[in-house]
Structure 1
Amino acid sequence: MDLGSGGAGAEVLARAMTDVSLAERLILASRSIGGRIVFTTSFGLEDQALTHAIFRAGLDVHVELVTLDTGRLFPETYEVWAQTEDRYGRRISAVSPDRAGLEALVSAQGINGFRHSVEARKACCDIRKVEPLGRALAGAAGWITGLRAEQSAFRAAVPLAVQDSGYGLIKLNPLADWSRQDLVRYVADNAIPYNTLHDQGFPSIGCAPCTRAVRLGEPERAGRWWWEQESKKECGLHLVPTQTTQEPSHDRVA
């Protein structure tokens, strides 16, 4: 497939990925993008489905699996990480925060200083997640994520593929049009290891101090940074389209 360049190339790929299976979407992306492709997993339900599809299709020779180990993850997350490696017989690489930057952050904020203000929380996310992601994606041509449009109103316009101007690559969201029910069914049907926190009311799982179970009727991401009265429950990793046009504009999610 000739992807062309820039946003137009991503749109060509997005159209080709429509109405095909998850495995076909991943195979199509791996064949269409020339260069290194990185899949960043946080071991949530979406990422476990993608991990299964990547390994079962033999795409791990084309796709590098990486996780951002923030140092504040739930014990259950580390457990499913180990279970996943055992299940598929593969290692998943970890990228950790820069030591000097993290030590300076904790010295300035205190260990839980991120609760003092939105700015302090964003500074913590920058050190523990955004900067490591930049290193993980350095030199990559494609980036696979588990974003779904149904996860929040702010993610409603997430496309199957988009040119990410911030990281200079094609960002792939193969589950963009999947519902939560689609996801649960796929994981159950394939007996995929999953984080047991999902059984305890955690549809979205991040760092332990920053995630709680959601209440009945709350959106999936309501449990993230719950002490903040904001509609955008994000950490700064993603550029999300603000409109669907030939050349989509983006907001850095904060």
Structure 2
Amino acid sequence: MSTPTTYEADTKKLTTEELLTWALQTFSPKRLVLASSFSIEDQLLTWMFLSQEKNARIFTLDTGRLFQETYDVMDYTLQKYNYSCEVGFPDAAELAPVIAREGPNFFRTSVEARKECCRIRKTEPLKKILYTADCWITGLRREQAPTRTSMKRVEWDNNWNIWKINPLLEWSEQEVWEIIHRENIPFNPLQKKGFRSLGCACCTRAIGPDEDIRAGRWWWEDPEHKECGLHKQ
């Protein structure tokens, strides 16, 4: 087995499928998790991951404000691939007083308020899941945002103190779509309607063909702020 100091060197020349194989061999399948928002990237990785490990751990974060289309593609994906998805939910005891005091749209008042909403709805539920893992796999791609330019395919996540694997980091959006269509992988129809990056319905809008991929996420903020805390470096 590899040692942590050689992880990056050992995986440098591996294909995406080989990287997933390496991950399953290096980390216990019970301590290896794939994060999914049911985006095209995560759907592609779900298909690849389950083809190698039928009992693979896959989780999603249900913020309570997702698009109905997201729930629909989740339902269809679970049926098609016959697997159980772990679901993280926000703590109602923490969220309810904030909404009662600030209102349901408090996240629009400032960057700090928006990040607090993301913390309650996303980062705290994520923390509980990652506590049970040694490594997590994401569908992040480098071209998605300026905040992701320094990421590596295999890296130590200082934010969560856990190993992190980004198998699709160097993939283009077109390359992802090619496999989605070729393998008939389920996808969210909103991603064909200008929603190239999906999150909560209240924080996501459709964008034009010439806009940045994540321009539709928290569009009232500057690009360098457009992370929710899950992938802070």
Report the TM-score when normalising by structure 1.
0.87
- CA contact 1:97–1:129 (8 Å) conserved in 2: yes
**For the residues of structure 2 that align with 1:165 and 1:155, how far apart are their CA atoms?**
14
**For the residues of structure 2 that align with 1:108 and 1:148, how far apart are their CA atoms?**
37
Gaps of 5+ in 2: none
Matches within 5 A, 1:124-163: 124-163=117-156
Aligned residues: 232
Query: 2:112 is aligned with what amino acid?
Result: E
The match for 1:251 is none
The match for 1:243 is none
Gaps of 5+ in 1: 241-254
Deviates more, 1:153-162 or 1:65-74: 153-162
Query: 1:186 is aligned with what amino acid?
Result: I
The match for 1:247 is none
- CA contact 1:160–1:173 (8 Å) conserved in 2: yes
**For the residues of structure 2 that align with 1:22 and 1:3, how far apart are their CA atoms?**
20
**For the residues of structure 1 that align with 2:59 and 2:224, how far apart are their CA atoms?**
28
- Compared CA separation, residues 112 and 157, structure 1 to 2 (3 A): same
- CA contact 2:59–2:85 (8 Å) conserved in 1: yes
The match for 2:49 is 54
- CA contact 1:212–1:223 (8 Å) conserved in 2: yes
Pair 1:25 & 2:28 matched: no
Pair 1:113 & 2:106 matched: yes
**For the residues of structure 2 that align with 1:228 and 1:166, how far apart are their CA atoms?**
22
Residue among 143, 154, 168 paired with 1:175: 168
Report the alpha carbon displacement of residue 18 of structure 1 after superposing the two structures with TM: 3.1
| Partner SS, residue 178 of structure 1 | coil
| Partner SS, residue 215 of structure 2 | helix
Residue among 87, 94, 101 paired with 1:94: 87
The match for 1:231 is 224
Residue deviations 1:108-145 (CA, integer Å, cap 9, x gap)? 22011111111111110000000000001113100111
